[in-house]
Amino acid sequence: MYAIVDIAGQQFKVEKDKKLYVHRLEGEEGSELDFNKVLLIDNDGKVRVGTPNIKNAVVRARILSHLKGDKVLVFKKKRRKGYQKLNGHRQYLTQIQIEDIVTK
């Protein structure tokens, strides 16, 4: 059984006990979260598609940790002009574990 769920503006394919990294979420480490923007559920080949969301469907997750991602370097250059610019960025992330997919 898997589901497609909208978490913080991005869509993820989730299964029970799967760990994933999402953009920083509010909440303490170890706290429970419920996501109710479930777009699709596949239960052993039986597919339910929402319009746009499936009513009474909830994905439960637990926050494992808050961390920062790998550094991404952004380099800009204009040739023959002497212009160079180097910027770095580290995205704030939250690691979550999917506890359960509930449908009613």
What mean pLDDT comes out for the span 21-35? Answer: 96
Closest CA to 21 of 102, 77, 97, 100: 97
Query: Residue 58, Cα to own-chain centre: how many angstroms?
Result: 15
Cα gap 49→41, rounded to integer Å: 7
Q: How far apart are CA 11 and CA 37, in angstroms?
A: 10
Please give the pLDDT value at position 40. Answer: 96
Domain count, the chain: 1
pLDDT above 90: residue 104: no
Confidence of residue 79 (pLDDT cuts 50, 70, 90): very high
- Cis before 52 (ω within 30): yes
Segments forming the whole domain that contains residue 88 = 2-103
Which pTM value belongs to this model? 0.84
H or E element that contains 38: strand 38-43
Give residue-wise pLDDT tens across range 34-71: 999 999 999 999 999 999 999 999 999 999 999 999 99
